[in-house]
Every structure is written in C-alpha cells, then in structure tokens.
Chains A and B, each alone.
Chain A
Amino acid sequence: MEVLLQNEDTIAAVATGMGGAGIGIIRISGDQAVELGNNLFVNPKGKTLKTAKSHELIYGKIIDPETHKDIDEVLISKMKAPHSYTAEDVVEINCHGGIVPMRKILKLVIQAGARLAEPGEFTKRAFLNGRMDLTQAEAVIDIINAKTEKSLEYSVAQLEGRLSQKLEELDGTLIEILSHMEVNIDYPEYDIEEISYNFVNTQILGLLKKINEILAVAETGKIYREGITTAILGEPNVGKSSLLNTLLMEDKAIVTDIPGTTRDTIEEYINIEGIPFKIIDTAGIRETENLVEKIGVEKSKALLNQTNLVIFMRDISKALSEGEKELIELLKNRRTIYIANKTDAVSEQDLEIPAPWIPMSLLEDEGIELLKQKMLEMVFEGTVNQDADYLITNTRHISLLEVTKTSLENAIKTMDSQMPIELVSIDVMEALEALRGITGKAVGMDIIDQIFKNFCIGK
C-alpha cells in the first residue's frame, strides 16, 4: 500500500512568506475550498463566503469552529473556477501578517480537511489548468525541482540526529504491529500467536506517548517559528524608539506594523540570523511613560510574564531614577539585557560601565551588533534549546505527525468499538503512511518483508 499522490484534493498554504510581508495570505485551492473557508468565517452582517460574489472582498473574523473563539480579523475572498490563480475554486484569507495568526488559521484550514500544499503545488496546478503560457512550463518545472530540493535539504538537515532516531523508532513499532496483524490475517492456520487488542492497545499507547513528546517539544520550540517575545523597557527619552527603529531598519524582513484595532499591543518582528524576535510593546510605552507608574506593579509583572526576553534601557548620562530602580528590581531573575545608551553624551573619562550593561550609542551606531549577539546568546543559553536536536520545526512535518497521532487514536477507537482487526489495520496503516510522509520512505514491501523475516509460514 502506498501514499497516494493527490493532485485533485483541496490544498492550502501561506501564500506570502512566513514573516515576509505586512499582510499574510492563506490560500486554499480545490473543490472544497469554499466549503472549508465558509465554515471558518463569520461576518458581522451575516454574509457568508458561499453566497459572496466571486472576487468580492469581505470583512470578518476567522473563528475556531469547535471552540467558537475568534482567531483573527481578516479580509476574505473567493475566486470561482476558472477565474483564479490555479483555475480551481480559490479562497484567500488576508490576515495580519504575524506568524501566530497565519499559523493558527492555516492549522484550522488543515484540520477542516485541506492538505498542506507541496512545494510549488499552486503554480503546478495553475499550469496544469491552463492558467499559464506554455513557455512557462520549464520555469514551473524548475520551481518544483528547486523547491523540492530545498525542502529535501531542509528535511534531511532536520531529520539528522535524535529526531530521525525517534521517528525510526515509531516507524519500527508500526511495522511490527502491522506485520503481526497481517500475518494473523493472511496466515490464519499457522501456529503464530494471535495478536490481541490488549497488546496492540499497549503498543499504540506507547507510540502516542512518544508522538506527544515530540509534539510537545515542537510546541516549546515554537519560539523559533513564532518569535521570541521581547520587550524593550525604560524611562521616557532613553532611546527606546530609536533602538527599535534601528533594529527594524537593519532588518529588511519587517513583518507588520498594524496597530491592531482589537489589540492593545503592537507587534513588530525582527530577524536576527534566522531567529525571529517579536518585539511587543504595550500601547503607549513607545511614548514616554513609566511602565510601573502607568500600569502598576502587578500588571507590569503580568506583562513581563508574557515575554521571553526584556531589553532594559537607560540613559547613561543620567542617574538612575526611582522608577528605573523599581523596574530593575522587577527584572531580577528574568532574562534581561541591560543597555546603557547615549555613551556619546558622556565624556570618555566619566564612562565606566560595569557588566552586564552594554554600552550603546545609537547616534554613533555603537553597541547594536553587541546587542544582537547578546540577544542570540540569550536564546541559545535558554531552556528552549536543550531539546533542539529532536526539535521538529517544519510545519508540514508537524501536521503529518498530527495525522499519525489522530490515526492511532482512531485505531484505539476502532478496537474499543470491537471492530475486527482488518479495520484496525486500516487506521494503523494510515498512521504509517503519514509518518512516512515525513521520512520520505515509500510504504512498499516492508510489511510483507517483515512478515517473512519474523514468522515461519508457508506450506
């Protein structure tokens, strides 16, 4: 049995680069696109995607259909076949370009039944459906090959080390369960121990535990994908805004600067050597306010609890104020980088800056590199890194591992409802196929090979 190559189902992906544009677009293409989009979308005036006109842009919210929670406010549109990029029914969800909302929405779309698109798949469909000129065929092939190559490289890099070992273990156990089930089915008259549901159940629970571990690590590792939440704190006029602007200007991959109407924070992304930092700021803090004074100690603590990293900034030409001292007290035992700004305003002989303070002069462009280095150090020293060698970061891999998990849970349900073994085997096979989607190994003869290796059968 093998993984079907699907060219006809509904696919979805982030159409803009993750963290690459001000607005993020989730694109869904295929027969089910409108249905899927429709089920996740609510419009205040009761408009639905189904009844909307083609190419009409509607405002509304994406909600989680299970919890009914709002996920993000969006502009959504459908493009009816063949008047779309792929010439299939296409739905585009324009959301806030932050990685968090994009990932959440994409996840919902996939849970609803779409499949994560393969590299170059939208373009491929566009071509196959006649949306592109013949001369572009070569280019499309190049895109597919290049993207495949790249994603393969990525997968290989990711699959080295303990993660690959973990997945191998899962694979091995699945093959063992399946070959035992299949030998019972295909060789009923041989004196081979009947596999019991009890045994299969125990094995599958063990697998689920391992999968949950990997997914949990992926969750703590989401910091890599979603950004290190970073707050820049300090007294008014110490240079916080300038620092932020400098960091943003140096980083071409600025994500977004939309003061969300539903949020009271502003999120900005910067990217340092591939690690995204999500700079958060409570409304007004960029203005000249004292945090503790403004929102009180408890609220400040609550805010700090949401951050992974704090950059505390002072003006070195001035003495520490009471407010600053209070804040420094608050920051004890937190991951904090201390910046002594405006070194340019102090004469050389007066300048004595003890560690951990980093001297900085934004005017003279000093200290920025050191800060970035420090920010990276903080990340890699942090707890997030300790499991990194089986950290799974590829969204496609995570979604496949989740399918593996669901299939195994289904297998347990099938057994619980006393269904016969060949139905349980369907679920376990699905789990194996999803897992093999990560490792790229085809499901071929290995179950039958395993049967003949482990069991003495045959007339």
Chain B
Amino acid sequence: MTYSGGDYDIIVIGAGHAGSEAALASARIGLKTLLLTINLDSVAMMPCNPSIGGTGKGHLVREIDALGGEMGKNIDATMIQCKMLNTAKGPAVHSLRAQADKKAYQFRMKEVIENQVNLLLKQQEATEIIVENGKITGVVVNTGALYTCKAAIICSGTYLKGRIIIGDVQYDGGPNGLFPAMYLSDSLEKNGIELQRFKTGTPARVDAKTLDYSKMIIQEGDEHIVPFSFETDQIDIDQVPCYLTYTNPETHNIINANIERSPLYTGEVVGIGPRYCPSIETKVMRFHDKERHQIFMEPEGLNTNEIYVQGMSSCLPEDVQIALYRTVPGMEQVEFMRSAYAIEYDCIHPTRLKASLESKEVAGLFFAGQINGTSGYEEAGAQGLIAGINASLYLRGEQPVIIDRSEGYIGVLIDDIITKGIDEPYRMMTSRAEYRLLLRQDNADLRLTEIGHRVGLISDERFQKFLDKKEQIKEEIERLNHVTVKPTKENNEILKSFGSSEIQHGLSIGELIKRPEVKYLQTDVFDPVRPQLHWSVMEQVEVQIKYEGYIKKQLQQVEQFKKLEHKLIPQGINYPEIGGLRIEAAEKLQEIKPLSIGQASRISGVSPADISVLLIALEQRRRSSVKDVTTNE
C-alpha cells in the first residue's frame, strides 16, 4: 500500500555527483525539491578513485562552477593535494586534478544540501515512477510513500540492478558495499524506456601501514595551488603525497596463470566496460610486450589508512588479487581492506534523450550521470547541473539551456551522447572537443557565467565581479597594444636576456607577448604604468594575446558551425516519408530527432547528400505550411 508523501516540484532520484548538482540547482532556482538517496551516508560518494578533475574532466568542473554548480567549491574545500596537469603543453590542455579527502568531500556536500532552502534530503529507495498521459506525475519509494511531482531527474548511477563480480563470487549489490536498487529498472522499462548493461570496476583499497613507500616514487602536489572554483581565491593546505610503483614480470605471470579464473575472460560478464579503465588483467593480456605498468597509491583521506591502488582494478578472484598485488615493489606485505570488484548495472540509451536531458518518451522525466552511460564524477556532475536547470525551466515553461559544442565541454559531452550514442561508458577527453583552443579551463567563466546568471544560479554580485574582470582583460589588452617598446640597445639587451631576438623598430608590448618565449610578467620592464591586476586577469591577457591568430581561426570555424546549429528542424517530422532520403539515414534521423541541421550532420550514417535532401524537404514543408495558412485565411 502506498500513502501520499506530499507534493514537490522536482524529485531527484539519487544523491551522487549528478543528483547533488541537480537538486541544488533546482532548489537554488527556487523550486521545491526532494532528493532521494538509498543511503544518507552515500551522498556525493566517490566509489572509485579519490580525485576530482584530470584532462578534460578538470575543464568540466570549471564549467560547472561557472554555471553556478557546487563541485568546484566542494573539492576546493576538501582537497588534500592538487596538480595542474599538462603545464608543459599549451593553455588549452592545462587541466586541474585534485586528490580529495573522500569523507570530507561527502560531508561538505551533504551539509550544503541539508542547508539549502527549498531542498529536502531523504533516505528512501525510489522503486517506481508514475506516468500519466505521457508525463511524469510522481515517484513511489520503498517505504510506501507516493510523492507527486511535476518533474523528476533520475541520477541512479550504477545502482540499477547492480551486480558485483569478484572472480567467481558474484552477488547483487551497489557500489562500495551498498545495496543495489532492484525495482526502478522495471518501472522504467514499463514506461517505454529501454535499458542496456554496462560494466565498470575499481581496484582494491589497501591498508597504508602495510605498504613500504621507501620502495616507491613520491608524487607531490603543485607548490602553488590553482583552485577549481572561480570564487575561491586561494588554497593553503599541507598537501599529502601520492606514490608511484610498477608491476613486473612476476605480476604478469600470476595474471597469465590465473586468467581462466577471470570472469572477463570466461564470458560471465556481459556488461560493456570502458576501454580507458581497463582492469590490470586486460592490460597485461592486451599489451603483453609491455614490461611494466604504472601503479599509483592515492590516499582516500586524512583520517583513514585506506589507499586507492590506481592501475590495479580487477575482477579476478580475491586470492589472485592479493597474490598479484604482493608482487609489486613496496606492496610485498600488503593487506586488503576492500577488494577490487567489477560492477554491472542498467543504463539507458542516451540517444533517447533530448539535448535538455529530458526523455523523449516521458515528458518531465530527466536523466543525468552514469544512468546515461557516462562514467566519472565530473561527467555526472555536469549532466546533473544541466538536468536540474532544465527541469526547472521545463516547469516554468521556458526554453532549456543547451550549451553547444563551441561553448563548453558540457556541450560536447551531451551532444556526443545524445547524437552519436555510446557503446561503452563515456569519459571526457580533450580530443573530443573540436574547438579545444577556445574551450580552455582558464576561460570557463568567460564562456558560461552569463548563462549561470540568466538562470539564477550566479548571484548579481558575482556577476558584477565577472563583468569587471571581463572589462579589465579587454582594457589591458588594448593598453598593451599601445605601449611601444623602442629598439634601443638596452631594450634589445633585455629581450636577449629573455632568450628572444632583437627588434629593429618599435613594437608594442602586445606584439612582443606574441613571441612564444616572452611572458607577460617579464614585459613590465618596458611598462612603467602597468596596473595592478588579479592573476586570473593577467593569465587571460597573456593567453588571448599569445594565441590570437589561432583563436581567430577557431572562431571562424565556430561561426560556420553556429550557422548550422541555428538552422532548426521542427519537431514532429516523419523522416521515412521524406522521398530521396536513404533508408539508413531516415531511420537514424527518426531515432535521434535532431534539433538542428548541425546536429543532424553529426549523426553517423547521415551523409552530406542526405542533409541536402533534408534541407530541401524542410523548405518544401515550410512553404506548404505558409501556403496552408494563407488559404485558410
């Protein structure tokens, strides 16, 4: 029997990284929000590695922050080590990554959620969605309560029919020893939402006191920490190191000798796993000529001995796991606290989602995170935030926020999964972005703060600060282009000391900064009246001047891209009826129902000729409808 549990604008199912962002966004926008979790102690839990960020992912966190999400602030407050990756390369691919204190991360997020106006957090398992006339109207939970709602966001992570695999030991289970959610899948399928099985895995957590770090290579954080959030000014912490060690032929021998005990190789695991998180047995089997593999020891927090053994995920039986871990230098005496396991779970086909992340099957039902077939906390958080914003806009009858591929990694992520579909868990990589030079982590605020402000997630105060920063960048670039450096002997001596070549005639400082070897900060010797600027302003000035030519080139490409994105396709077109469209293309278009000609052209199996035919059919349609209107009058 169910009882009426109350009415909400929006119900968010799952309080992981997607659910937390989704619920905070909708509550902050002003909608009455209920956040359901299977376990209150698992809010914003990190069931895999204890870190936030990395290549591409760090970009996502900065974008989340620019839009008014929580992830950046949360990691800034709870990090125990931080590194800017790729600093030897250009600014477009610099990426932040921080080690988190897992528990601190969870507690802080839980506290923020608990103290958020309009938001209620509850420990209950959603078992059923109620759909009436194609619209979501409520959610039933395991305790019998029926909550009515106008929109719901499913962020169920890896919990749906979760199955844990440790060698030949297999059981129904959620991540990290939690219960799985065994009922919601059936309710989704009953409502026309098709599911598929994906798989992922995690290595063992070992006891730090059983490790010998003296046999490993220490990995320190950066001396100067760059925060994730544009609102965090600086982070001053004592950082905790990680350690690096390697596998060896002995490790590989143990794997080879026991490979028939791996369910990955016996065919017992049916879910599709991500290629970028291969288990150690997969690495050894696939790259058998590689003599060693890197293993990183990452602390799970300040108040625990648990160490995450990066590079050693496995679903071999526990005895084999222990044996092979113990072959690694520094791990000879290692003791496990949690074993490595693989987990299989239900997820949807993301091509069944609109760009707003709303289901094409059920109005008002949104999906975000691993349920959409992605992997990673950052990917989940980004989708959660967008789903939270768009569910709110849906309730208000407003147009959804759709970030396009030229505006953010969030746009690349969502467009990829809804347009191209996925056949393995999706991880963000910078190489997925066409306009990588424009989508830098350093300018996420310049790209997205306005959207965050418009939807109500960025305060007027923060927005004003942002506008000031924008203005300062503009003014300083302008100013530098008008400060001339004369070709005097002294000046040329200074240039030589920078490792740069002499100048023959006067050049502006702007021109000088274009030289790869000349840094903005150095040029103050030529610049007696330089204003005091925040480091983030100086960074922008330098990047924008130095890469101006390349940035312009990408902006031109973006202009072309935008034209096609702005050619909208009216919904409700029956593609198979369009004469001249190839059958394969018609089927794909019918499934994806692209919003724009740009999106249509990215669907695999749709050729340029198909697009031409489509354009003509659309024009035909438009003109006939104009004609209809005129005749009706």
Our verdict on whether A and B bind, yes or no, reads yes
Interface, chain A (partner B; CB < 8 A):
1-2, 4-9, 118, 120-121, 124, 127-128, 130, 134, 137-138, 140-142, 144-145, 148, 182, 184-191, 417-423, 425-426, 442, 444, 447-448, 451-452, 456-459
Q: Which of A9, A128, A459 contacts B310 (CB 8 A)?
A: A459
State in angstroms the CA–CA spacing of A453 and B245 once bound together.
24
B window 560-594: CB within 8 A of A: 560-561, 563-564, 567, 579-580
Query: Is B93 in contact with A185, judged by CB distance below 8 angstroms?
Result: yes
Query: Is A185 in contact with B431, judged by CB distance below 8 angstroms?
Result: yes
Q: Which of A134, A141, A190, A422 contacts B294 (CB 8 A)?
A: A190
Contacts of A426 in B (CB 8 A): 436-437, 550, 553-554
Contacts of B554 in A (CB 8 A): 426
**Nearest-neighbor residue (CB-CB) of A118 within chain B:** B608
Q: Do A419 and B90 contact each other (CB < 8 Å), given the known contacts A2-B602, A448-B431, A452-B276?
A: yes
State in angstroms the CA–CA spacing of A426 and B516 once bound together.
18
Query: Is B55 in contact with A185, judged by CB distance below 8 angstroms?
Result: yes
Q: Do A459 and B550 contact each other (CB < 8 Å), given the known contacts A4-B561, A4-B564?
A: no
Query: Is B563 in contact with A422, judged by CB distance below 8 angstroms?
Result: no
Contacts of B436 in A (CB 8 A): 422, 425-426
B465 at the interface (CB under 8 A from A): no
B window 480-494: CB within 8 A of A: none
State in angstroms the CA–CA spacing of A60 and B509 once bound together.
45
Contacts of A5 in B (CB 8 A): 564, 597, 601, 608, 611
How many Å from the CB of B94 to the closest CB on chain A?
10
Interface, chain B (partner A; CB < 8 A):
48-49, 55-56, 85-86, 89-93, 203, 274-278, 283, 286-287, 290, 293-294, 310-311, 313, 420, 429-432, 434, 436-437, 516-517, 547, 550, 553-554, 557, 560-561, 563-564, 567, 579-580, 597, 601-602, 604, 608-609, 611-613, 615-617, 619-620, 623-624, 627
Q: Which of B275, B553, B564, B619 contacts A137 (CB 8 A)?
A: B619
Contacts of B617 in A (CB 8 A): 137, 141
Q: Do A185 and B547 contact each other (CB < 8 Å), given the known contacts A140-B616, A459-B313?
A: no
**Nearest-neighbor residue (CB-CB) of A443 within chain B:** B434
How many Å from the CB of A428 to the closest CB on chain B?
12
State in angstroms the CA–CA spacing of A260 and B623 once bound together.
48
Contacts of B203 in A (CB 8 A): 459
State in angstroms the CA–CA spacing of A185 and B89 once bound together.
8
Contacts of A120 in B (CB 8 A): 612
Contacts of B274 in A (CB 8 A): 458
Residue of A138, A457, A459 with most chain B CB atoms under a 10 A cut-off: A459
Q: Which of A124, A188, A456 contacts B85 (CB 8 A)?
A: A188
**Nearest-neighbor residue (CB-CB) of A140 within chain B:** B616
Known: A144-B613, A145-B580. 5 other contacts (CB 8 A): A121-B612, A182-B430, A422-B436, A426-B437, A442-B604
Q: Which of A7, A138, A145, A186 contacts B56 (CB 8 A)?
A: A186
9 tightest A-B CB contacts, nearest first: A420-B90, A141-B580, A418-B516, A182-B431, A148-B609, A456-B287, A458-B276, A8-B563, A452-B275
Contacts of A456 in B (CB 8 A): 278, 283, 286-287, 290, 293
Query: Is A7 in contact with B563, judged by CB distance below 8 angstroms?
Result: yes
Query: Is B615 in contact with A7, judged by CB distance below 8 angstroms?
Result: yes
How many Å from the CB of B226 to the closest CB on chain A?
16
Contacts of B55 in A (CB 8 A): 185-188
How many Å from the CB of B220 to the closest CB on chain A?
13
29 residue pairs A–B, Cβ–Cβ below 8 Å: A4-B557, A5-B601, A5-B611, A7-B567, A7-B615, A8-B564, A118-B608, A124-B615, A128-B619, A130-B623, A134-B623, A134-B624, A137-B619, A138-B580, A141-B613, A144-B609, A144-B616, A145-B613, A185-B93, A185-B431, A189-B294, A190-B294, A426-B550, A447-B431, A448-B429, A456-B278, A458-B275, A458-B276, A458-B277
State in angstroms the CA–CA spacing of A128 and B622 once bound together.
10
Contacts of B612 in A (CB 8 A): 118, 120-121, 124, 141, 144
Q: Which of A9, A148, A184, A448 contacts B560 (CB 8 A)?
A: A9
State in angstroms the CA–CA spacing of A374 and B287 once bound together.
61
State in angstroms the CA–CA spacing of A458 and B429 once bound together.
12
Query: Is A185 in contact with B516, judged by CB distance below 8 angstroms?
Result: no
Contacts of A421 in B (CB 8 A): 89-90
Query: Is A422 in contact with B437, judged by CB distance below 8 angstroms?
Result: yes
State in angstroms the CA–CA spacing of A420 and B546 once bound together.
11
State in angstroms the CA–CA spacing of A198 and B560 once bound together.
34
State in angstroms the CA–CA spacing of A288 and B322 once bound together.
102
Q: Which of A127, A422, A448 contacts B616 (CB 8 A)?
A: A127
Query: Is B430 in contact with A418, judged by CB distance below 8 angstroms?
Result: no
How many Å from the CB of A317 to the closest CB on chain B?
60
**Nearest-neighbor residue (CB-CB) of A458 within chain B:** B276
How many Å from the CB of A209 to the closest CB on chain B?
26
Residue of A2, A418, A451, A457 with most chain B CB atoms under a 10 A cut-off: A457
Query: Is A137 in contact with B431, judged by CB distance below 8 angstroms?
Result: no
Query: Is A419 in contact with B557, judged by CB distance below 8 angstroms?
Result: no
Contacts of A144 in B (CB 8 A): 580, 609, 612-613, 616
**Nearest-neighbor residue (CB-CB) of A459 within chain B:** B310
How many Å from the CB of A216 to the closest CB on chain B?
29
Query: Is A128 in contact with B616, judged by CB distance below 8 angstroms?
Result: yes
State in angstroms the CA–CA spacing of A185 and B86 once bound together.
7
Query: Is B90 in contact with A417, judged by CB distance below 8 angstroms?
Result: no
Contacts of B611 in A (CB 8 A): 5
Q: Do A137 and B276 contact each other (CB < 8 Å), given the known contacts A148-B609, A189-B85?
A: no
Query: Is A459 in contact with B89, judged by CB distance below 8 angstroms?
Result: no
Q: Do A138 and B579 contact each other (CB < 8 Å), given the known contacts A5-B564, A185-B55?
A: yes
State in angstroms the CA–CA spacing of A403 and B225 once bound together.
43
Contacts of B91 in A (CB 8 A): 420
How many Å from the CB of B200 to the closest CB on chain A?
11
Residue of A7, A8, A190, A442 with most chain B CB atoms under a 10 A cut-off: A7
How many Å from the CB of A445 to the closest CB on chain B?
8
State in angstroms the CA–CA spacing of A189 and B88 once bound together.
12
Q: Do A458 and B278 contact each other (CB < 8 Å), given the known contacts A5-B611, A142-B580?
A: yes
Contacts of B275 in A (CB 8 A): 452, 458
Contacts of B557 in A (CB 8 A): 4
Query: Is B431 in contact with A186, judged by CB distance below 8 angstroms?
Result: yes
Residue of A121, A425, A444 with most chain B CB atoms under a 10 A cut-off: A425
**Nearest-neighbor residue (CB-CB) of B90 within chain A:** A420
State in angstroms the CA–CA spacing of A141 and B619 once bound together.
12
State in angstroms the CA–CA spacing of A189 and B85 once bound together.
8
How many Å from the CB of A82 to the closest CB on chain B?
15
State in angstroms the CA–CA spacing of A370 and B278 once bound together.
70
Contacts of A140 in B (CB 8 A): 616
Residue of B85, B553, B616, B617 with most chain A CB atoms under a 10 A cut-off: B616
State in angstroms the CA–CA spacing of A1 and B429 once bound together.
12
**Nearest-neighbor residue (CB-CB) of B203 within chain A:** A459
Contacts of A190 in B (CB 8 A): 294
**Nearest-neighbor residue (CB-CB) of B428 within chain A:** A186
Query: Is B620 in contact with A137, judged by CB distance below 8 angstroms?
Result: yes
State in angstroms the CA–CA spacing of A452 and B294 once bound together.
16
Query: Is A185 in contact with B564, judged by CB distance below 8 angstroms?
Result: no
Contacts of B547 in A (CB 8 A): 419, 423
Q: Do A137 and B430 contact each other (CB < 8 Å), given the known contacts A418-B517, A457-B276?
A: no
Query: Is A419 in contact with B516, judged by CB distance below 8 angstroms?
Result: yes
Q: Do A186 and B287 contact each other (CB < 8 Å), given the known contacts A5-B564, A459-B310?
A: no
